[in-house]
Every structure is written in C-alpha cells, then in structure tokens.
Chains A and B, each alone.
Chain A
Amino acid sequence: MENRKVISGQITAIANLRWQMFVNGLRSKRGKMELVSRILVTSAFALGGFGGFAAATGMSWYFVSHGNTAFLAIPLWSVLFFWQVFPVMANAFTNNPDSSELLRFPLTYRSYFLVRLAYGLADPASALGSVALLGVLIGATTARPALFPWACVVLVTFALFNLVLMQTIFAWIERWLAQRRTREIMGVLFILVTLSFQLIGPLIQHITHGSHPKLLRDLSILARVQSVLPPGLAADSIAQADSGNFFVGFTSLLFLATLTVAIGFFLHLRIRAQFRGENLNETAARPATRQVLPMQLGWHVPGFSQSVAAVFEKEVRYLSRSGPMLLTLIMPIFMLLIIRIGPMSALRHSGAMNRTPDTAFPGAAAYGLLILTNLVYNTFGGDSGGMQFFYASPVQFRHIILGKNLTHAAVLALTTIFAWFAVTYLYGAPHVAVTIATIAGLLFAAPLNFTAGNLLSIYSPKKRDFSTFGRQNVSQTTVLASMGLQVVIVGFGVVIFAIARLYKNLWIASALFLLLAVISIPIYIVVLRRMDRLVVERREMLLAELCRA
C-alpha cells in the first residue's frame, strides 16, 4: 500500500515536472513560437487523425453490417502498419523524451516502466492510432451495438499491443545502433532484407498471374497466416463474438494478450538494462598493451579552405558514428522497396504506371532531400558544447556553415546516386531527361533548403543526441517551416513536370529547374554571407540551448 502511494506520488511528480517544463518554456518568445507551431502541427495531425477515424469508422461499419466482421483485420492491419512504421519513417514527429534522466531519483522499476509507456502514449503515432481504433469501435458497434463491451476489450488490448511493440522496436533499434559491432550486424541484416525483397516481386507476379483457383488458394493461405497475427487475432476475436462463439473469441483475445506480454518481456529486458544504468558507449575495453595509431592527417577538400575542410571532416565523422542518422539516410531506398512491393507493384503490372522509374527516381530524390532536413534544419544540434568552440575559434561562421552544408550536399549526392541505382535495379532505368531534370530540381531545391535550414538552425536550435533514435526534442517551429517549404518545392516540381509532360518534352523541366536554381543559389550565397552577423546576434540563445547539460 505504502509502495503504491510512493509510485503514484512519483508518477504525479513526473507529470508535474513535464507540465512545469512546458509552462517555463513559454517564458521566452521562442517558447511561445514553439507553442504556436505545435498547435499548428497538432491541428494538421488532428486532420489526418480525423481522416483515419472516418475511414476506420466507415470501413468497420461496412464490414460488420455486411456480415464480414473478420474483415476488420483490414483496418486493424492499417493501424498496426501506421503505428509502427510512422515513428521510424518520420521521427521528427515523434515525441518520446529521454526518460533515463529520471534514473537519478529513487524511482521504482515499475514506475520507470510505466513512465516509458506513458511517454509512448503521448507519441503522435499512438494518438492517431488510438483515434483510428476508436473509429473501428464506433463503426463496428454502430452496425452491431451488442458487440460494444467485447470489441472494447479487444481493441484496448490491441492498442496496448501496438504501444508496447512501438516502444520495443525503438528501444531495440537504439540498442543495436548504439554500438559498432551490433550496428554492423544490423547493416548486414538490412542488406539481406533488401536482397530478399527481390523475391517478393516474382512472388507477387506469381500470385497475380496465376489461375483463378490458385489465386484464391494463395489468398486463403495469406488469410490464415494473418489470422494468427495480432490484427487478425483482434478481428477474429470480435468476429467470433459476433457469431456467438465467445469461447473461440476469448481464445483469440488471450492469444493477443499473450503476444502483448511476450513483446512486453522484450521491452522489459531493455528497460531493465537502462534502469540498471546501462552505458552504451562505443569504447572498447582498455587494451592490455598500449595502442598507438600512426599520425593521421586531416582531410583535404580541393577548392575549400582548411577550416571548411576541417568542418566537413568533422561532420562526416559525426555522421559515420551515428547509427540512427545513417539509418535515417538510407530511408529513401527503404521507401522504394516498400513502394515496390506495395501498391506500385500491382499498378505496374496492370500497366497503369508503365513508366514507374520516371516517377520513382524524382520521388526518391525528393524524399532523400526531405530526410536530410533532419540534419540541415538543426545543423548545430549535434555540436552541443562544441558550439562554444566555434564561437571561440577565429573562423567566420559562414565558413563553418559552408563546411556543414558541403557535408549535406555530399550526403544528398550520395543518396541520389544510390536512389538512381535502386530505381534502376527495382524498376528499370529512368529516362535520361528525367534523371537530368531531377538533378536540376535538386540544384534548385537544395540551396533553398540549406538557406532555410541555416536560418532555422540559428533561430530555433535544439540540442541533438546522435546516439539515440526517436527521442530527439525537435523544434516544432522548424518542423512546420520545413514542411511548408517542402510543400512549396514539391508544388513547383509537380507544376514543372506537368508543364513538361504537357509539351511532351521532359527537357523543359530541366531548363525550368535550372532557371529556378539560378535564383535559389544566389539567395543561398547572400544569406550565407549574413550568417556571421546573425550567429553573433543569437549567440546567447544558441549557447544556452546547445550547451546545456
């Protein structure tokens, strides 16, 4: 009893702490701007959430009222996919603060575990997923009101499963990316998964081009497989209850709950390790013999000064030591794979999109740029205390920022090249005109993003921890501004490609993009030249934010 009182006191104290941090954050102008941005971003999410809610409600009502309650698996699979994939794909939107700071207090393990789950519940993916599940509940019970209590229990269990799974995925990805050896193993696994995706194309072709009875047989196998997985189990449990087979329905629910507990056990392993003060540094054990490395010269970057080359080298080294960041950067290729095995596959085989490479390559390049905004829009975020070094050094900030942008450009170039090869491998080579137009498009879009990113890095910085995944405290102002700029840039791209297609000459797109690049590059240069003054003007805020412990 006493223990329970202590735990509830601790959880209340943590809730108060977060509230007080939020209120104190509003004291500054920047804090107020953050709040406005957060409201706007939340509104956008709410709109998306409403869409998901409406779709889930409609679909569930339709399935249940037409006697196909087991088909509830379809919206439930969508919810699962969104809940688990969205936070990984767009971790700028995740809201998963670092709870390990709480470990200095005499927190019980149970409190710590619950706090971790509560933090996960505050994540947008969890919120939107829960709203969609509410839609499923309303849709299903509108069609069959008697299902309400049972559907309620099942869907809450399913929500809990998703919550626990998401936290487990994050915790383990972070664990694997934290150390060099496990990171390398994960890299190899990623390549293996990438290669195995190649089998899916022929498999889909095999299924869709097979005879009708064979297709039905394959689909029934697929249905059986999914029925033992969580969305299938949840749907089956409701369907069985709907048919009066409560015992079978209960068995499915029990199975789902068991899976939740099993996944929760893996989460428990991670959280317990953190609770016990796990240190995931990359240091090898102290060698018995003295290790001396030969003197290593810094990098030389032709055409750039010593200081720019030094910053470039430092940035590349930082990136190469950040597993989470590297994972983010290969996301465009991952997306291509997902699209390849997803809806595009069917469309492609139906002939509806017989020039998929021409869409996929610009899409992947644009996504690459979008992903890069994580770095570009908070360019000093990872420097932390090193920001003091920059201020104390006799190097003008324009050169420091140029070095950083040079790294961003190099990463973008690499991602684009990889994307081109991936598209060629998966879909076939894109047209030369499309390739050139995409590169021209990047020449227009990248300087604009770098310009906006440099400004926002100064006006709205956030300290970043390169070693964690999805626990970054991203500035909502930055997220909003970045989203706005991407919408404008993509809008330009769509209009330009539409004009080019209208005139049946894709080279027009290249010409138009290059024309826009002639405008965006000087804008970048002008703003870069003003960086010295801006950075000095904002030094107190930048140092206070980036150098805090």
Chain B
Amino acid sequence: MSVAPTVSTERLTRRFGDLVAVDDVNLRVAPGQFFGFLGPNGAGKSTTIKMLTGLLAPSSGKIEILGLDLDAHPVEVKRQIGVVPEGMALFGRLTGAEFLSFAGRMYGLDRETAAKRAAELLEFMQLADQPKKLVTDYSHGMQKKLAMAAAVIHGPKVLFLDEPFEGVDAIAAGTLKSLLQRMIARGATIFLTSHVLEIVERLCSHVAIIHQGRLVAQGSLEELRAGVQAQGPAALPGDGVPPGERLTLEEIFLHIVGGTRRNEQELSWLG
C-alpha cells in the first residue's frame, strides 16, 4: 500500500507571459523524506518552491500539502509548514529574539512558549551573544540561521528551504545541517533547493531535477544512479566511471541536464 505523499503536485504550471517557467510538473514527496530539488539557474526551482509555499499563484495545476489542497486551505497548510524563501523573509529592524518571538506568535504559539523557544533557538544557532543587535546588522550567514530558526519555531511537519546553504560558511552550514537532521529524525519532511550538490548528496534521500521548467528526473539517489548507469558508459560524462566507483550526484546531474562547452575565443580580452 503506498503512503499518501506529504507534498504532491499535479500538472503544476506557471507562465510569465510567453515564458513557461514551470511546465506540467508532477512531484511526489513522501513523509519523512529529505528531498532535494535541483536544477540549473533559471530552471524553475524557486518558482516551484514559491508556488508550494503560497508565495506565488500557479497558472494551472494542483498542489497538495499534507493531504490538503493549498488553494482551498492556505491557512491550514501554512500552519503546518515552515518556509525559508529566497529572500529569507526577515524583519530587519527587530532584534533576533524579537523576530523569533514575533514569528512564533504569528504561528499561533502563546507568548511564553514563543519567547522560550526563541531563546533556545538563538542559543542553538549561536546567535544569542549579541541580543541587542538588529537583524539588518547580522551577517548573511547569521541571517540564514535566523530565517531557519523562524521557520522551525512552531515545529512544522514540512520544511521548505530555498537555497539554505547559499553564502553560508562551513560553521554555519554545520549548525544548519544539524538542525535539519534533527527535524528529519523527528519525522518531519524537508524539501530543499540547492546548487551545492555535495550537500544535497550527503543530506537528501530523494531528489528531483527540473530543467527548463520540466521535471526530468525524480526518485531516490540510487534510483537516479541506476537509471543513468543503465544507459551505458557512452551516456556518462567524461571518460565514464571507473569500475567499482559510484556515480556522484554531480555526474548524474550533468548527465541529465547536460552542458555546453564555451568557445575559447569568447571573451578573449579577459586575458
């Protein structure tokens, strides 16, 4: 018996004028999965995640989160999810504690719980040592950590993260990964987009790849690897994979998405 997906889309499409940014995408994310959503720049990753979190209306298609139709039950869905969008969604002129307490209350926590969790999250994220600092004065990495803390303060069942590791140093990335692994251990589902394929490979159990708005691959890493290898060595990038070695996610990604080599004569003035 198949388990009902936590996140599912049906023929999800988004057009911007003549441009079809997301084209007929059918996604399935099962409960408890750490799901990586990959694609080259401009492939439609952020557009998809924005639609999944209610930040952008689809042109057509259906989105269900935790069995609820997002269009029909936006508030019920939002209550159960956490979001770190591309722009991080922070209020710059609050302190970290004020922002987290505010976020908690907006997600329905009472004042005491919101304040207590805010303090704990600041401590966990190593943001507690400058309590008077305004969010606008935080470094990029600190802002990422704070955005993540705000997304999890209400204990969401599903977490949507748009490029959570972009511009984050190794220490901050470690803290974020530790938090995400705790969430997964707790049974939450995580849906993330990232350009850093090594991180996705290490964290995610399942992956989907979008290219030019269309979903071109979806499944567990093993399934994707098997699919590429089944096409034979000629299909692999470079000289193929030495015997006994597994394909990396980067190799799988490059195989599926492809790439073009630039002419060496281009931009010759760069030296």
Contacts and interface: CB of A to CB of B under 8 A. Distances in A.
Given A310-B102, A394-B108, A388 B115 contact: no
A282 B137 contact: yes
A385 B87 contact: yes
Contacts of B253: none
A287 B133 CA distance: 11
A297 B105 CA distance: 11
B93 A466 contact: yes
Contacts of A395: 75, 106
B132 A284 contact: yes
Interface residues of A, number: 46
B106 A388 contact: no
Interface in B125-157: 128-134, 136-137, 150
Contacts of A293: 97, 131-132
Given A383-B91, A466-B93, A392 B131 contact: no
B162 to A, nearest CB: 10
Interface in A371-411: 382-389, 391-396
A292 B106 contact: no
Contacts of B97: 293, 296
Given A291-B130, A296-B97, A314-B94, A389 B103 contact: yes
Nearest to A283: B137
Given A281-B134, A386-B89, 12 more contacts: A282-B134, A282-B137, A284-B132, A291-B131, A297-B115, A306-B109, A310-B101, A310-B102, A321-B134, A388-B83, A389-B150, A391-B54
A10 interface: no
The A interface, classified by DSSP as helix, strand, loop or mixed, is loop
A287 B150 CA distance: 25
Interface of A: 281-284, 286-287, 290-293, 295-298, 300, 306-307, 309-311, 313-314, 317-318, 321-322, 382-389, 391-396, 466, 536, 539-540, 543, 547
B75 A385 contact: no
A317 B93 contact: yes
B87 A388 contact: yes
Contact of B134 (A283, A300, A382): A283
A300 B136 CA distance: 26
A300 B107 contact: no
Contacts of B88: 385, 388
A389 B89 CA distance: 5
A539 B106 contact: no
B55 to A, nearest CB: 5
Nearest to A281: B137
A295 B109 CA distance: 15
Contacts of A284: 132
B132 A388 contact: no
B56 to A, nearest CB: 6
B98 interface: yes
Contacts of A292: 128-129, 131
B216 to A, nearest CB: 26
A317 to B, nearest CB: 6
B82 to A, nearest CB: 8
A310 B105 contact: yes
28 contacts: A281-B134, A282-B137, A283-B137, A287-B129, A291-B129, A291-B132, A292-B128, A292-B129, A293-B131, A293-B132, A296-B97, A297-B111, A306-B111, A307-B105, A307-B106, A309-B105, A310-B105, A317-B93, A317-B94, A317-B98, A386-B90, A388-B83, A388-B87, A388-B89, A389-B90, A391-B55, A394-B107, A466-B93
Nearest to A384: B92
B91 A298 contact: no
Contact of B110 (A306, A321, A536): A306
Nearest to A279: B137
A396 B88 CA distance: 20
Contact of A314 (B102, B136, B150): B102
Given A298-B114, A298-B115, A394-B75, A539 B130 contact: no
A388 B147 CA distance: 11
Nearest to B97: A296
A393 B134 contact: no
Q: Which 10 A-B pairs have the closest CB atoms?
A: A388-B89, A394-B78, A389-B89, A394-B79, A310-B105, A386-B91, A392-B83, A293-B131, A283-B137, A385-B87
Contacts of A296: 97-98, 101, 115
B226 interface: no
A172 to B, nearest CB: 22
B174 to A, nearest CB: 21
B119 interface: yes
B112 to A, nearest CB: 6
Given A291-B129, A300-B111, A394-B108, A539 B55 contact: yes
